[in-house]
Amino acid sequence: MNMIAPSLLAADFGNLEREMQWFNASEADWLHLDVMDGVFVPNISFGFPVMERVAKLCNKPLDVHLMTVQPEKFIGRVRDLGATVMNIHQEACIHLHRVVQQIHEAGMKAAVSLCPSTPISTLEDILEDVDVIMLMTVNPGFGGQKFINHSLDKVCRLKAMLQTVGSKALIEVDGGVNRQTAPLLADAGVDIYVAGSAVFGKDDPAAEVLELKRLTQRIL
Ligand code: DX5
Ligand code: ZN
């Protein structure tokens, strides 16, 4: 699978209506929304008032990436946005299994994210319960950072781990995805590609989405 999830973090926040127009008409699969609390990550982005407005303008599924402590506090509000995927960090959840269950009970898909330094083995006992595993391919908190090359090996190892247990969880990557890194990630076995600066802000963002789709096509 090769789904492209442009990240709103790189959008023009003064023109969200215009950004959503090209987005809705594009080949993008999901809209990725980065919520930062200034505690879990050293940056603050946007919160529910902005996302509620964007959700009304957007006609594609929302992938809400919570870079916050205690993300379980927000399950109801993320559900009320109409989100398809609630994306939380393993590092932010003491009782990850319970939070994943609560996300499912709220009717959403559960994505669990790992920071670059967190080993994939930390998810060994929850592989069959999650819908998506997202590997951060930069340190979370900022857009436009350089892709961490070690991530390619991490994707390969995650793919093998999922195959071993027969898990159907999809692999998502976030950070530094662009025309150069996307094909390498596709070879490693990625299913969902988050891309901020490689899409929003470009002269023809819809064409960039299409190009990323083309570059990530795999013959299975
Ligand atoms: C970073 C965010 C990313 C960010 C990616 O913490 O989680 O979703 O928008 O930005 P790029 O694609 O520019 O690296
Ligand atoms: Zn993100």
Is 203 part of the annotated catalytic residue set? no
Structure tokens at 133: 């595993």
User: For residue range 9-38, what is the model confidence (pLDDT) as tens digits?
Assistant: 999 999 999 999 999 999 999 999 999 999
Backbone torsion region of residue 70, taken as left when φ is above 0, otherwise alpha when ψ lies between -120 and 50, otherwise beta: left
Q: Decide if pLDDT at 206 tops 90.
A: yes
What pLDDT, on the 0 to 100 scale, is given for residue 29? 98
What mean pLDDT is reported for the chain? Answer: 97
Residues 46-63 have a mean pLDDT of: 98
Structure tokens at 147: 């892709």
What pLDDT, on the 0 to 100 scale, is given for residue 220? 52
The answer to whether position 220 is within a domain reads no
Query: For the chain, what is the domain count?
Result: 1
Is 174 part of the annotated catalytic residue set? yes
Give the DSSP H/E element, type plus range, for residue 81: helix 75-81
Give the DSSP H/E element, type plus range, for residue 33: strand 31-36
The answer to whether position 66 is within a domain reads yes
Band of pLDDT at residue 201, cut at 50, 70 and 90:
confident
The answer to whether position 71 is within a domain reads yes
Residues 194-218 have a mean pLDDT of: 96
User: Which residues span the domain enclosing 123?
Assistant: 3-215
Q: Which atom of ligand 1 is nearest to the CA of 143?
A: 10
CATH, residue 164: 3.20.20.70
Residues 28-50 have a mean pLDDT of: 98
For the range 198-202, what are the long-range contacts, defined as Cβ-Cβ under 8 Å and sequence gap of 24 or more? 199/4, 199/6, 199/7, 199/10, 199/28, 200/6, 200/7, 200/8, 200/9, 200/10, 200/11, 200/12, 200/19, 201/10, 201/11, 201/12
The answer to whether position 105 is within a domain reads yes
The answer to whether position 85 is within a domain reads yes
What pLDDT, on the 0 to 100 scale, is given for residue 77? 98
Rg for the chain, CA atoms, rounded? 16
**To test ligand 1's pocket by mutation, which of 138, 139, 173, 197 has the most ligand atoms within 8 angstroms of CB?**
138
Q: How many angstroms does the Cα of residue 174 sit away from the middle of ligand 2?
A: 6
**To test ligand 1's pocket by mutation, which of 34, 146, 202 has the most ligand atoms within 8 angstroms of CB?**
34
